[in-house]
Structure 1
Amino acid sequence: MSAEDLRTAMVEGIAERHRAQGLVLDADIRRALLTAPRHVFAEGDADVKTSYEDIAIITKRDEERGINTSSVSAPWLQAVMLGQAGLKAGDRVMEIGSGGYNAALIRELVGPTGSVTTVDIDPDITARAERCLVAAGYDDVEVICADAEFPLEGDRTFDAIIVTAGAWDVPPAWTRQLADDGRLIVPIRIKGMTRSWLLERRDGMLVSTGHVACGFVPVLGAGRHVGTGIPLKEDPRVGLWLDERDTVDAGELGGVLDQPRVETWTGVTIGAKVAFSDQDLWLAMDPGFALVTCSQEAIDQGVVALPWQFGTPAFVDGPNITYRPKPRKLDDGRFEFGAFAHGPRAEETSQRLADQIVAWDAAGRPAPRLSIYPANTPDTDLPDGYVLDKRHSRLVISWPSARRPSSTEWSQ
C-alpha cells in the first residue's frame, strides 16, 4: 500500500476508536491526519507501514535508566488532544515536547495565519524535529531547544499550549504564557496516573473542562520528578509505585504476597470495552493509595491477578496490602470488580477497597474536576475536594457530578 492509502486506513481506525468512546473525529483534524506524512517523522525507527499503525513510535531511549525519553505519540491520542485544544486558523500554539509530527498536525490546523512553536530540552530531539519538519514541508514551524519549565524569551503568549510529555506539576511559566482565553492541554501525573487535562482560566486559576487517560514519556529538566519504587517480590517481580510524597514502611511488607489471599467481589459490574479510568482517580483519594506493578511472569504464574503490568490501584495499611484485580467475567458478558488482599488483616483491607468501589458506583460513577492554584494559596481559598500539593501548585480534585458524597476521606 502507498503512504496515502496507509494514512487513510489509519484515520479510519482513529475515527472508529473515537466513535467507540462516544467522540467524533473533527473534520479539520481528519484532514490534518490525512495530510501530514507520519512516516517522515519516524525517520528510520519504523518502516512506512508501521509508521501508520495507531501506536507510539519510540525515537530515543535512556538505556542506563531503562526508560523511553522521546516518541512520536500514538495518533489516536494526538487526535484527542488536538480535539481538546479546539484549534482554529490563526491560533498561536506552543507545543512542549517535540517529535515533529504533532507540530505538523498543529500547523495544518492553524494555517499560514497562525504560528507553531515547538520546544524540547534535548538538542538531539529538536535537531531531529527540525530536520523532519523541513523534509515534510513545514519549514515555518519554530523549533526551540530549551527547558520549558521556564518562559521563552520575550513577552509571548499563546492561544493554546499543548504539552506532549508527562508532567508532574504545572509551572508558573505555562500559566504566564497562556492568553487570557487560552487553553492548556497537559498530561499530569496524579498519584502515578496520567490524564491529559483540558484546562482553562477561571477567576485566577486553571479549571479542567475535560480529560482523557493516557501515557507519555516523562518531563525532563527542572520539572522532572521521580517517584519511589518498593519491591514486594524479586522473582517474579512485583512492587509498589509511589509518585507523590507518600511513604510506606517496606519492612512491614516483607513476604506479604506469600500470605493467604482474601478475595472480595463487589457486585459492581461494567460492560466489555467500557472505560473506567475515573474509578482509578476516585480510589487514589484514599490514604495509603499506591500502584502495584509487576512483570508479566508474575501475572502468568498467578502471584498477582492484575490486568496489566504497569500500575493498578492498591492500598497499603501497615503489613497489609489490597489491590483491584482483573475484573472477572460473568455469565451475562459483564465484568465484576473485586479486591484481593494479603496480610494479617486481609479481610478488613479487602473490604475497604471493595467499599470504595461500591461508593464510586453509588455516586453515579462521576467524572473528576481538576482545579489548579498557586502553591501559596491558603486552605481557606481552596474549594472542597482532595488537595494534592505539588512543587509549584496546589491541585484540587473534586467530583461535582457525584450523586452523593463518597466515604473517601478528603483533605480540605
Structure 2
Amino acid sequence: MPKVNPAQSLVDLLRERGKLYDPRVEEALLAIPRHLFLPDAPIEQVYDDQSIPVKTDLRGDATCSDTMPSMVAHLLQQLSLQPGQNVLHIGTGTGYVSALMAHLVHKEGTITTIEIDRDIAKEAEANLVRNGYGMVKVVNKDGAEGYAPRAAYDRIVATCGIWDMPIAWIKQIKPEGRIIAPIWLDGLQVMASFKLEADGTLYAENVMPSAFVYIRGIAEGPMVRKFVGSTELMLLADEIHEVDTVALAMLLANDADICYLSAPLNTIEYWYGFIPFMMLHEGDKDVFALYTIRDGYKAYGMEGEGFALLSAASAAFVPYYGMGMVHCFASSDTFIEIEKQLSAWQSLGRPTISQLRLRLIPKDQPIPQITMGKLYPRRHHYLHVWFDQ
C-alpha cells in the first residue's frame, strides 16, 4: 500500500480555495511536511489552514507563531524564488518557512534567517538540521539590523508585521531585488512586495490582508492596542492614542441599538474591499479601528471580531460575520458615516484591495503633497496609501 503524504490534504485544501497555483510552491509544500517542524502540535491542526502559536505572553497571546499555510503559499508565490538566489528571512519561527525557501533556491542558493528570541532560534536551527536543511544559516539577533555579512540580497522577506521599513534592509537589497513584508496601517496589516524606485522611494502593489505577529526590537512601532475598561474588548488602531478608553467605556455602558447597513456584506467583502476603503476615508474627528473580543467572552453585549468607527459621542461596531449588522452606541453619527462611506464605495464600483497601492517616501525628501488616499508619518518614511482606480 503506497505511503500517504500527510501534506497532500493541505495542498488539496489550498488549491480548492484558490490559494495555491504555482507548481513549484506546491512541490515544496509536499516535499517538506509541516508537522516535521511542529512535532508537538495535533496533526489535524497542523494540516488545517491556521496559524499555530509557538510562544505566548502572560495573557496567552502569541509572540511567535507558525504562519497559516495559505499565507505561506501567498508569500512564496509573491517571492517568486529562483535557484541560486540569495535570501534574507526575518522572523525564523519554527524554521518551516526558511526550509521551504531553501528548497526553492536549491543548493546553489543561500538562505539566512534571523530570529530575535534565543530559545526559538535554537529550536529552529535544530528543526532545520534534523530535517536536512542545515545549510540554512540561523542568526540570533535583531532582525531590523539585517545581516550585512551575506548582503546584497535578491529578496528580503519578513514574517513579522512592521510599522516602517528598516533602513538596513533597504541598504542590503540588490537594486533589482524586492522586499516582501507585512506592514500595518490603521490596524489593518497587509502583505506587500516593495521594489526600490529610481527616486529612492519604495513602491508596492499586489497586496493582501495578513495577520503576522509584530516585529520586536529596535523597529517596534508605537503601541496600537488598547483594552476598554476591564473587559476583553481590544481595539487596534493607528490613532489609538486619540481614544479615551475611560470615556468610551462609559459610552458603551449604555445599551446598543442593533442597526443594519444598506448592503449586507460578508467577511471577504469587508476584508478585501470595504475595510481598506473605510480606513482611507475616515473623518478627521473619527478613529477607525479593528476590534476583537477573546473567544468565549462578551463585552458590552458584543462578541467576536470586526471593525469600529469611534467619535467623542458615538460608536459603531460592525462584526465581520454579521452580514451588515451594526452595534450602535449613543448617537447615530458613526453609523451614518459608515453608511455614507459604504455608498461611496459602491458608487466607485466596489474597489478591492487588489487596487491598493503603497509608497514609502524617505523623510529626507520633501513632505509629499497627495491628492488621494492617506499619508501616514512613520519613523524613517512617509507611507502613502491609495486606491488606483
Shift of the alpha carbon at 1:24?
4.7
Shift of the alpha carbon at 1:55?
2.2
Which amino acid in the other structure matches residue 359 of structure 1?
A
* Partner secondary structure for residue 369 of structure 1: strand
Mapping 1:165-180, distance limit 5 Å: 165-180=160-175
2:76 aligns with 82
1:342 aligns with 329
- 8 Å CA contact 1:264–1:339 kept in 2: the answer is yes
* Partner secondary structure for residue 83 of structure 2: coil
Q: 1:205 and 1:48 mapped to 2: Cα distance?
A: 44
Shift of the alpha carbon at 1:60?
1.7
1:387 aligns with 375
The 3 A distance-change label for structure 1 pair 59 and 382 is same
Find out whether 1:371 has 2:362 as its counterpart.
no
Q: 1:230 and 1:88 mapped to 2: Cα distance?
A: 42
Q: 2:181 and 2:347 mapped to 1: Cα distance?
A: 30
The 3 A distance-change label for structure 1 pair 258 and 100 is same
2:129 aligns with 134
Q: 2:249 and 2:42 mapped to 1: Cα distance?
A: 46
2:341 aligns with 356
* Partner secondary structure for residue 87 of structure 1: coil
2:9 aligns with 9
Deviations 1:7-64 (A, max 9, x none): 111111111122xxxx5520000000000132221133x144543332222222223x
Shift of the alpha carbon at 1:297?
4.9
- 8 Å CA contact 1:266–1:354 kept in 2: the answer is yes
- 8 Å CA contact 1:265–1:354 kept in 2: the answer is no
Which amino acid in the other structure matches residue 292 of structure 1?
Y
Q: 2:3 and 2:342 mapped to 1: Cα distance?
A: 46
The 3 A distance-change label for structure 1 pair 391 and 319 is same
Q: Percent identity?
A: 27
2:38 aligns with 42
Q: 2:312 and 2:270 mapped to 1: Cα distance?
A: 31
The 3 A distance-change label for structure 1 pair 263 and 53 is closer
Q: 2:2 and 2:139 mapped to 1: Cα distance?
A: 33
Mapping 1:98-177, distance limit 5 Å: 98=92, 99-154=94-149, 156-177=151-172
- 8 Å CA contact 2:20–2:74 kept in 1: the answer is no
Q: 2:229 and 2:100 mapped to 1: Cα distance?
A: 44
- 8 Å CA contact 2:115–2:143 kept in 1: the answer is yes
Q: 1:62 and 1:78 mapped to 2: Cα distance?
A: 24
2:46 aligns with 51
1:93 aligns with 87
Find out whether 1:320 has 2:314 as its counterpart.
yes
Deviations 1:281-313 (A, max 9, x none): 2222214222333244555x8712x6x33xx32
- 8 Å CA contact 2:160–2:215 kept in 1: the answer is yes
Q: 1:394 and 1:352 mapped to 2: Cα distance?
A: 27
1:409 aligns with none
1:405 aligns with none
* Partner secondary structure for residue 137 of structure 1: coil
Segments of 5+ residues of structure 2 without an aligned counterpart are none
Decide which of 160, 175, 185 is 1:190's aligned counterpart.
185
- Of the structure 1 ranges 98-107 and 375-384, higher mean CA displacement relative to structure 2 is found in 375-384
* Partner secondary structure for residue 234 of structure 1: coil
* RMSD between aligned residues: 2.6
Which amino acid in the other structure matches residue 76 of structure 1?
S
Length-normalised TM-score, structure 1 = 0.84
Q: 2:71 and 2:141 mapped to 1: Cα distance?
A: 25
Shift of the alpha carbon at 1:262?
4.2
Mapping 1:202-241, distance limit 5 Å: 202-203=197-198, 204-235=200-231, 237-241=232-236
1:404 aligns with none
- 8 Å CA contact 1:56–1:74 kept in 2: the answer is yes
Which amino acid in the other structure matches residue 397 of structure 1?
V
Which amino acid in the other structure matches residue 41 of structure 1?
F
* Partner secondary structure for residue 176 of structure 1: helix
- 8 Å CA contact 1:241–1:290 kept in 2: the answer is yes
Which amino acid in the other structure matches residue 388 of structure 2?
P
